[in-house]
Amino acid sequence: MRFLLSAFAIAVLAAPVSSPALGQQSDTPAANNHTERNKRLAAEFYEDLWFSNNTDAFSEYVAPEYVVHDVGDRKNVTEKAIAQKEIADLFHSFGELRGEIDYQIAEGDKVATRWFISLSPNENGQRMGMTSVERVPIINVFRFNEDGKIVEIWNHRHDVDLPQPRGRGNGPSK
């Protein structure tokens, strides 16, 4: 009897689980094609807007309106697509902006990208209080519509890696 129970337990654990029953996306070729397309589009978004200052390409990636979940007052806010260009242009105005993608994870209509941002500030950036930063990790999650446009963005920065003003943060004050 113990052998039968063990064999049954092994069979249950080894049996394939139906994804739709767990609320996950199905592994249909169309779903996989959209997932791969969305990963490619997310990577191109960073390459154009953040890594190479080709911010005029914003409309190739972002729907005319999208919802952003960010820090501060930008929580659950609907914005026009042009806001992504304006944000990237602002950061580029602070100096030499560089970045690289660490990895991407995609499921269904969502793509999570962990990437690094680096900045060497110019005079304008220094006047604004910017300092050099190297490889600050950021995680963004994009939700894409059927047309391959970003319709929702969640922004998660690792602010503890950013330089802190004197008297703030975990490091000693000078």
Output the pLDDT for position 148.
Answer: 98
| Structure confidence at residue 25 (pLDDT) | 47
- How confident is residue 157, by pLDDT bands cut at 50, 70 and 90? confident
- All domains in the chain, ordered by first residue: 28-161 (3.10.450.50)
Convert the pLDDT of each residue in 17-47 to its tens digit. Answer: 333 333 444 456 777 899 999 999 999 999 9
Pairwise pLDDT comparison (172 vs 100), residue with the higher score: 100
Q: How far is CA 112 from CA 39, 89, 168, in A?
A: 8, 23, 30
Confidence at residue 94, expressed as pLDDT on a 0 to 100 scale = 96
> Across all residues in the chain, what is the average pLDDT?
82
Residue 15 has pLDDT above 60, yes or no: no
> Does the pLDDT at position 3 exceed 50?
no
The pairing of beta strand 62-69 with beta strand 150-157: parallel
List all residues 6 or more positions away from 80 whose beta carbon is below 8 Å from its beta carbon: 64, 65
Tell me whether residue 62 is exposed, middle or buried, using C-beta atoms within 10 angstroms of its C-beta: 0 to 12, 13 to 18, 19 or more: buried
Average pLDDT over residues 147-173: 73
As to burial, measured by CB atoms within 10 angstroms (0-12 exposed, 13-18 middle, 19+ buried), residue 151 is middle
Predicted TM-score (pTM) of the model is 0.76
CA distance 120 to 130: 9
pLDDT, residue 160, reads: 66
